[in-house]
Amino acid sequence: MKKVSIIIPAYDKSQLTVKTVESVLKQTYPNIELIVVDNGSVDDTKSALSTFGSCIKYNYKENQGACSARNLAIKEAEGDYIGFLDCDDSYCKEKVERSMKVLMQNPSLGFIHTGDYFINEEDVIVGEYPKSRFQGWISTRLIFGNYICNSTILARAQADRGRFL
């Protein structure tokens, strides 16, 4: 079974980050490597995440932005696939399994993304970021307007590392 590395850049949102990590650990897809990069948090993020022990790979770095944290984690990732998840977002429990099924059935796809729900503090859906209807070479469309929610992407590692293009 292919390994999926999920990358979470975290910054000063300890309790939300805990919920985000829990959503990944509850996935129905069993072969997940979870990498959290604490991007210079000054709150209790480190101690809040310590309860997960070896279930996550925790890294601390000086704050240089979420992209810098993601890049650090990409270098460390061992997975055949890489998913991005912001520290204040969560996955539905079958997200990775369903995304992997589509990627495995479509070897020409470099990545997949899904729609996204906006939820409030009580986990009630209050809005939606709809899934795109575009397929194929979408780079031109993305230049004119990004319609992909970052936290929904699951990419082949070789595509993410620039070898797929």
Which pLDDT band, with edges at 50, 70 and 90, does 164 fall under?
very low
Would you state the pLDDT for residue 151? 82
pLDDT surpasses 90 at 93: yes
CB 81 within 8 A of CB 5: yes
Share of the chain above pLDDT 70, in %: 83
What are the tens digits of pLDDT across the range 136-155? 555 555 565 556 667 888 99
Would you state the pLDDT for residue 158? 79
Name all domains of the chain by residue range, CATH numbers in brackets.
4-155 (3.90.550.10)
What are the tens digits of pLDDT across the range 109-138? 888 888 777 777 777 878 776 665 555 555
Q: Let me know the angle formed at the C-alpha of 116 by 18 and 124, rounded to the nearest 5 degrees.
A: 65
Handedness of CA 45, 50, 60, 23 (dihedral sign): negative
Model confidence, pTM: 0.85
What are the tens digits of pLDDT across the range 24-48? 999 999 999 999 999 999 999 999 9
